[in-house]
Structure 1
Amino acid sequence: MSTGAWAGTAPLTIAFPTDVPSWDPLVRVAPNPISIYRSVFDTAIDIDEKGVLRPGVVTAWRWKDTEGKVLELDLRDDVLFHNGDKLTSDDFKFTYFDRLHADKSLQVGGIWWALDSIETPSPTRVVMHFKAPMVTAPAFLGYLGGYLMPRKYFERVGAAGFIAKPVGSGPYKLVDYQRDSRITLTAFDKHWRGASKFRDVVFQVVKDPTSRVSAVQAGQADVSGMLPLRETVRLGQVGTLGSKVTPTIDSYLIHMVNSGPTTDKNVRLAMHHAIDKQALVRAFFNNVPAVMSTAAAPGTPAFDPAFQFAHDPALAQKLLAASGYSKDKPVRVKFLATNGVYPSDFDMARAITQMWKNVGIEAELTPIETAQFFSQAVAGTLPGPTLWLWQNGSGDPELSAGSYLNPKGGFSVWRSPDVSPHLDPLLVQLDETKRIEGYKGFHRWAVNEGYSLPLMQGIATAAYKKTVGYTPFLSGWMLPDYWTA
């Protein structure tokens, strides 16, 4: 395909592992389809390829108090929705307050529990008032806190009408949608950043990683993402293809559940000590991502290289023995993992089950769909520990362990009351140095309790035609409006 083809004769096709759960982006807080959502909808604050918050629709933000309860933001005055309506502070208020109060079923509402009111003193000025300090509000506004919605259009067509024909202010407009198959987009010429280089883009939903490899190799896709690492490297050696392997600021971990055998601290810690993380990194990722002992990945503020959790099978067996288990009398657990959603996810889970078996843990491995994980995690019904890639495009620790371990939040997996005394003070700490140091301590405590098992930093893989100027993001996002033709 020549560069000129992207002038309009053929779409740029991306083989992508997941679909959107809904075209109402406030329904579910889902990191997997972020690349699709961010193509159609703007978030208030932008996050660049290095994971740094930067001006977007919001040009500047500042705290107006010393408690983290009053946040003032300035908006651009040249942002248009796809239907031509101008984006103003009223749309901001509708997105982050009015709509969430009108429909308590929206998952994004769980993020803004502390929001008391929003003032709109002018079309380009917003003041957010919080009931309690929310020092990470800017990070949530840039990541999963909500995609900006058009009040007038939504109120005219209703929720069902919006889902049928969504309107955002992002760099692309939705042209056609076939669930679990194709998402066809066209560039929004009046986007505030300017028109994208690729006028027409198709996200082809291809859940099987082998099929994504075949698609780009056969020329059926111009870009394929979330591929097995070895296949990514091999494809990059094909004359017409390039490839990228990017260690990300996300993290592979095992979510623990406080039900069944993992209510026993000895079992949780034994599961952790039994895992040879370096062997996993070597076997599946060619030693590219770094092994992690706490929740913060390298490149994020709370990364803590001084803390190391040992691979120690002998200690794992000793802990199990203290609870009455052994190789002859193993503890039995259900173990869940995604299959093909992230690079080598299910294969890595198989290797972990073998490591556990070697010390006296029999794990029944079962695949889980991303939609199943989110619904069961929210309901507290996950049947066992789950291998997961926790995505956090902002890099802020509150949006990782501060969320999945917070028993008061809507995104917690492990839930026990002893977490809150350790975590709650950090949620209101405005001094950034103290906050980050506090999170390092919280991470160490949580790992020593066995409440989550961090494994390694995430990895994003992509193969693409060399005529595509592909830009990798440390968040792992695939955003065609940042690429060059």
Structure 2
Amino acid sequence: MKKRRLFSLLLAAAMSLALVSCGNGGDTSGNGTADGGNASQVDADGDGYKDTVKLAISTDPNLDPWLTGMAYDLNVGRQIYDPLFREGENGEVEPWLAEGYEMVDDTHIKLTLRKGVKFHDGNELTTKDVKFFLDNIESNASAASRFVCYDTANTEIIDDYNMVVALKYPYAEGVYLMTRMYIPSSAAFESMGADKFATAPVGTGPYKMTRWDTASEIELDRFDEYWNGPAATPKLLFRVIPEASSRMIELETGGVDFAYSISTSDYDRVKETEGLTLVEGDSSLFTSLTFSMQEPLFEHKDVRYALCYAIDKQFLIDTCYGGYYTIMDTIYPKMLFGAEEVGTVPFDPDKAKELMVQAGYPDGFDITLHVVGEAEKRVCEAIQSMWLQYLNVRAEIIQMDYVNFEAAGNKYQAAVRTGAATNLTSALVIYKTSFGRTLQVNDQYLNDLVEASDQQTDPAKRLEMVQEIQEYVYDQRYQMAIANAPMVYAMNDKAEGFEFDIFGAPFLATFRVGV
């Protein structure tokens, strides 16, 4: 029998009292409860399922449709917006808002939109909305780099449901990237303006936003006119709970029905707790150590090698990830096209010391080590200790979220990052000079190689290119892949209709929880 953790229950009760007294996470909508006034409405229609499913997320998402690219944004964003296509279980492209496509030639894609699709504001989806999305991809650097292949100036609308999307050059994944295009209502955006729209987005998804209390709660109501049929649950309530331990307690005590991003140290705890279940599977998530290629300290290859040799990856997996992660011998997840086993960097502190002397740093140096996320901070702390012990490299850990990181200009020296790549383009984009978020790229040879591979539509020739890229990256050691993570979701064991997602942002239209 699973254990019921009484200590956690008592701790949760104490925390709840503290939160109420401090005004943290309390009701700001006038509904009279901290969960949007739905605590008593468990099963109003008597169908045996909860009317409101509550989900614990770690942070407020960014719901600007051009920036909704990270898993923690899409946790909410995928319920509000629909993409043009969806990715199938085997990586194939499936119709969604677009019911089909045709390659007119190497640089032109004819799209046919589904008729009768409604936005939450009542307007019908047309090619004008898709063109509006394309016309605004230059609104931020991240979107511009992800969708750089599209030639928006020469994209033409044929009628309300047909259009020809132009590419600047032949692009191997021109259609696949449309699985990452989340289409907003152009009418609502133009009426509201960018800032207001980002806090009250209007899409075609199965749920529409009804309330957003920043850093507290996001409430979504079922959109009854959803083109693919109404969602299974009338209301979703996302509760922002930054600490993984607190998300776990809320799950145990029934404060939420579903928790994203629980700590690896809690995996067994979920399995042992009555009323909970853990859903596990392969994922595209991986942790890596990255070096800014514009940092003078790292111009010397021996320094990059030394810092990598001084890290015991198995120790990181055992102590920081509870043994659940696996050491990577590729530079991106094995499930992606062309992944090659380039090898793992061995733990060799003696070799690391020797290289530091050769590079002119026998006494080490000071450096900053940037991080986003709780588990990754533990990795940083372990790396900090190893570097100090073996190389006298003194690392200052700087933790901030991606929003603040980008606001600060994406500047850093070294960083521990968790990436998630569901296709080859997104895995390799970090090596392009146009994408400055993670590597501050200045290697023109590598940039040109990645660009050429993106434009190669012959699979055999592309495979040769991407294998050359992987071998080059491993040799240069601009980054060191550390570990591949499983995808894990924790939830009420009465949950049904869960659609597993390797990226970490499941689509919840069919999800429901029994009473």
TM > 0.5 fold call: yes
**By how many angstroms is 1:457 displaced?**
1.5
- In 1: Cα distance, 2:201 partner to 2:114 partner: 22
Contact 2:285–2:487 (Cα < 8 Å) also in 1: no
* One-letter code aligned to 1:64: V
Give the 3 Å change call, closer, same or farther, for CA 373–49 of structure 1 in structure 2: farther
* Structure 2 gap ranges (5+): 1-38
Give the 3 Å change call, closer, same or farther, for CA 240–260 of structure 1 in structure 2: same
Once the two structures are superposed, residues 297-351 of structure 1 have per-residue CA deviations (whole angstroms, 9 ceiling, x without a partner) of: 122223222534333323222211211334xx123221111233xxx22112212
List aligned pairs for 1:322-471, cutoff 5 A: 322-326=358-362, 329-340=363-374, 344-360=375-391, 361-376=393-408, 379-382=409-412, 384-392=413-421, 395-400=422-427, 402-409=428-435, 411=437, 413-416=439-442, 417-469=444-496, 470-471=498-499
- In 2: Cα distance, 1:149 partner to 1:216 partner: 33
- In 2: Cα distance, 1:355 partner to 1:49 partner: 40
Moved more, 227-236 or 53-62: 53-62
Secondary structure of 1:64 counterpart: strand
* Among 103, 108, 113, the residue aligned to 1:70: 108
* One-letter code aligned to 1:76: R
- In 2: Cα distance, 1:20 partner to 1:123 partner: 31
Give the 3 Å change call, closer, same or farther, for CA 406–164 of structure 1 in structure 2: closer
- In 2: Cα distance, 1:409 partner to 1:309 partner: 26
Moved more, 303-312 or 316-325: 303-312
Give the 3 Å change call, closer, same or farther, for CA 51–10 of structure 1 in structure 2: same
List aligned pairs for 1:146-225, cutoff 5 A: 146-225=181-260
Moved more, 408-417 or 187-196: 408-417
* Among 328, 335, 340, the residue aligned to 1:292: 328
**By how many angstroms is 1:195 displaced?**
1.4
**By how many angstroms is 1:451 displaced?**
1.1
* One-letter code aligned to 1:299: M
* One-letter code aligned to 1:95: F
Are 1:477 and 2:513 an aligned pair? no
Report the counterpart of residue 14 of structure 2 in structure 1: none
Report the counterpart of residue 316 of structure 1 in structure 2: 352
- In 1: Cα distance, 2:214 partner to 2:90 partner: 32
* One-letter code aligned to 2:117: V
* Among 108, 131, 142, the residue aligned to 1:93: 131
Aligned alpha-carbon RMSD (Å): 2.5
Contact 1:135–1:428 (Cα < 8 Å) also in 2: yes
Give the 3 Å change call, closer, same or farther, for CA 27–287 of structure 1 in structure 2: closer
Contact 2:306–2:353 (Cα < 8 Å) also in 1: yes
Report the counterpart of residue 268 of structure 1 in structure 2: 304
* One-letter code aligned to 1:448: D
* One-letter code aligned to 1:79: V
Structure whose alpha-carbon radius of gyration is higher: 2
* Structure 1 gap ranges (5+): none
Contact 1:18–1:205 (Cα < 8 Å) also in 2: yes
Give the 3 Å change call, closer, same or farther, for CA 333–294 of structure 1 in structure 2: farther
TM-score, with structure 2 as normaliser: 0.84
Are 1:127 and 2:200 an aligned pair? no
Give the 3 Å change call, closer, same or farther, for CA 138–462 of structure 1 in structure 2: same
Moved more, 210-219 or 454-463: 454-463
Secondary structure of 2:390 counterpart: coil
TM-score, with structure 1 as normaliser: 0.88
Secondary structure of 2:193 counterpart: helix
Q: Percent of aligned pairs with the same residue?
A: 20
Q: Report how many aligned residue pairs link the two structures.
A: 466
Give the 3 Å change call, closer, same or farther, for CA 293–331 of structure 1 in structure 2: farther
Contact 1:290–1:298 (Cα < 8 Å) also in 2: no
Report the counterpart of residue 98 of structure 2 in structure 1: 58
- In 2: Cα distance, 1:247 partner to 1:354 partner: 31
Give the 3 Å change call, closer, same or farther, for CA 200–172 of structure 1 in structure 2: same
**By how many angstroms is 1:4 displaced?**
4.3
Report the counterpart of residue 17 of structure 2 in structure 1: none
Give the 3 Å change call, closer, same or farther, for CA 124–53 of structure 1 in structure 2: same
Are 1:15 and 2:15 an aligned pair? no
**By how many angstroms is 1:188 displaced?**
1.2
**By how many angstroms is 1:186 displaced?**
0.9
- In 1: Cα distance, 2:93 partner to 2:512 partner: 22
- In 1: Cα distance, 2:371 partner to 2:198 partner: 30
Q: Which has the higher contact order (CA 8 A, sep 6+)?
A: 1
